[in-house]
Amino acid sequence: MEQEKEFKKDKVFSVADIVKRAKLEKDFRTDAQLAEFLGISRSTLCNWISRNSIDFPLMLGKLKDIDYNWLLTGKGTPHPTPRYCDSELAPGQVELLHNSRCPDRMDNRSVPLYDITAAANLKTLMDKGPQYLLGKINIPNVPACDGAVYISGDSMYPILKSGDIVGFKYIHDLRDIIYGEMYLVAFNLGGEDYLAVKYVNRSDQEDCIRLVSYNEHHSPMDVRLADITGMAIVKFSIRRHTML
């Protein structure tokens, strides 16, 4: 029971807020109107809110025209102007996932795309990046980045899914972490190297950070700062809807 309470406390989303934004987008005044639109009972919707658990495929399937980042986190706008990457290496729609505190110049940037599987870990990529270069992708109107990589796994679904590309900027001093943002985090546990894409929150444990997934099936985990071998803040993502 205590683990369940801790898990809910560390959720990075609020179903109550998601419901409010969904009603705002559809111009619904009551929960009953939203429930009817979703094809569920009002009691089911109330259970979602009280348990802070939601049927993501149903909600997102019914609200296809809304920016998912705004709907789920409140960041950005409901209908942002889409940006596209036309590179043969990574064609697809670009979504900004982090805006810098100090805005840098926005123009058509060339971002190096690396093979993280060949590099094995983020530290190796930081030290010997050029030898793992797959090519460069030109993306309009994105913040300055150190590179981009393909990701795997479903821990950040539905914001990110396996096969998406994320652009990143290295963090050279762990004191510069912006808590609540999404990061690539490389760390070592039991002699094994891991690379995760997670939200980074403060930890209750001393000299640790807490890595939090968006997918509710992945529990939060605390990682010692001493075990972290590299970090990079995620700046944007590219979703490839087709591999052709």
Task: Give the whole-angstrom CA distance, residue 200 versus residue 6.
Answer: 16
Task: Give the whole-angstrom CA distance, residue 132 versus residue 84.
Answer: 24
Task: Give the whole-angstrom CA distance, residue 30 versus residue 232.
Answer: 41
The structural architecture, per CATH, of the domain 2-73 is Orthogonal Bundle (1.10)
Sign of CA dihedral 214, 220, 221, 225: positive
| Listed residue (173, 183, 192, 166) closest to 114, CA to CA | 166
Give the other-Cβ count within 10 Å of 113's Cβ: 21
Distant-in-sequence, close-in-space partners of 206: CB < 8 Å, separation ≥ 6: none
What's the pLDDT at 7? 38
Angle (nearest 5°) at CA 137 between 131 and 138: 140
What burial letters (b/e) apply to 146-171, b meaning 16+ CB within 10 Å? bbbbbbeeebbbbbbbeebbbbbbbb
How many residues does this entry show for the chain?
244
- Range 128-134, long-range pairs (CB < 8 A, 24+ positions): 134/89
Question: Mean pLDDT of residues grouped by 10 in the chain (244 residues)?
Answer: 40 81 87 90 89 84 80 75 68 66 58 85 81 85 85 87 90 89 91 90 93 88 94 87 52
The structural architecture, per CATH, of the domain 83-239 is Ribbon (2.10)
pLDDT digits (tens, 9 = 90+) for 164-190: 999 999 998 988 898 989 999 999 988
What's the pLDDT at 2? 39
What's the pLDDT at 10? 43
* Helix, strand, coil distribution of the chain in percent, nearest 5: 30, 30, 40
Domain spans of the chain, in order of start: 2-73, 83-239
Within the chain, what is the greatest distance between any pair of CA atoms?
A: 57
